[in-house]
Amino acid sequence: MSSGNATILEKKYKNLVLQVSLTEASFCIKDTLKNKIETIRSFSFDKFSNPTEIEESLIKIFNETAELNTNFDEITVLHNNNLLTFVPSVLFDAQYLGSYLQYNTKVFESDFFAYDLVTNNDMVTVYIPYVNINNFLIDRFGSFNYKHSFTILVKKIQEFSKNIDETHLYIHIQSTNFQIIAVRNQKLLLFNTFDYKTEEDFIYYLLFVTEQLNLNPETIQVKLFGTISKESNLYQIAYKYIRNVSLFFDYNNLENNISQQEYLQNFIPIHTCE
């Protein structure tokens, strides 16, 4: 359980970050005394799940994973879905959360809305969390913090673009969708998420974005991370059509003993653990 107000004798010196999507769950545990991530694990679901089925899968994961059956000083839950939008802070009003989302997702009166502040870019992430997952975890842990995964994703990419005056594209790849983030010197130029089934779908959307932003495939820097490797079909087709393609593990802290592949796949939980 979470014990944010624990005394020094009660502290466990361990923080948990748990990320949940419709296709997988992942977590990392940080040893706060050593300031190192000690555990990273990912679990793929057998099929594209709905929130009720996710809860059943999480019950199984918790029952079979010893590292999760302990106490933590701090717990952060990340909701990874495409039920979100970014709103400039000057236009944001917490009374109208559903109104912001109605233009890019189907909104129901029964939906619960949440928001995160993206402090380094004067904007707000408005989203629909998995309420039943939160309820399950409340029963399991008591109190915890929760955010949208892409709040962390965009925030970190913006930080990494500091003092880089050229536009870069960062592509975060998941099993059924991917996110494109275009940034230049901490300024967010574009964020969008696309569903895909084939590598042809993937390259179509990627080239479409470069065209819409008037970027030259011969010169633009494209960084790939997430569920990706140099041997994958997605990497190979990107390399075929775009000259400067690379895997993005520039900020992997080797002191954590995290492999490049672990870093690529778990970028969001790892940087939430910081």
Domain of 98, in residue numbers: 84-123
pLDDT at res. 1:
40
3-state secondary structure of 133: helix
Q: End of a domain among 62, 96, 123?
A: 123
112 phi-psi bin (left φ>0, alpha ψ -120 to 50, beta other): beta
The CB density around residue 212, as the number of other CB atoms within 10 Å, is: 11
Q: Is residue 28 part of a domain?
A: no
Q: In angstroms, rounded to a whole number, what is the distance separating the alpha carbons of residues 257 and 274? A: 15
Q: Is residue 194 part of a domain?
A: yes
Q: Is residue 135 part of a domain?
A: no
Q: In angstroms, rounded to a whole number, what is the distance separating the alpha carbons of residues 81 and 148? A: 8
Stretch 104-123: mean pLDDT: 86
Can you give the CATH number for the domain in which 195 is found?
A: 3.30.420.260
pLDDT at res. 8:
58
Q: End of a domain among 123, 142, 173?
A: 123
Question: 168: which DSSP letter?
Answer: E
Domains in the chain, number: 2
State whether 118 and 164 are in the same domain: no
| pTM for this prediction | 0.92
State whether 98 and 181 are in the same domain: no
Q: Which residues have C-beta within 8 Å of that of residue 34, sequence separation ≥ 6?
A: none
- For the cut 90, the answer to whether the pLDDT of residue 95 exceeds it is yes
Taking each helix axis from N to C end, the angle separating 51-64 and 131-141, rounded to the nearest 10 degrees, works out to 30
Query: Per residue in 147-201, pLDDT tens?
Result: 999 999 999 999 999 999 999 999 999 999 999 999 999 999 999 999 999 999 9
* Chain position carrying tokens 């970027």: 215
Question: Phi first, then psi: what are they for 138, rounded to 5°?
Answer: -60, -45
State whether 114 and 164 are in the same domain: no
Q: Is residue 154 part of a domain?
A: no
pLDDT band at 9 (very low <50, low <70, confident <90, very high): low
State whether 228 and 174 are in the same domain: yes
- Picking from 24, 265, 18, the residue whose alpha carbon sits closest to that of residue 140 is 18
State whether 175 and 248 are in the same domain: yes
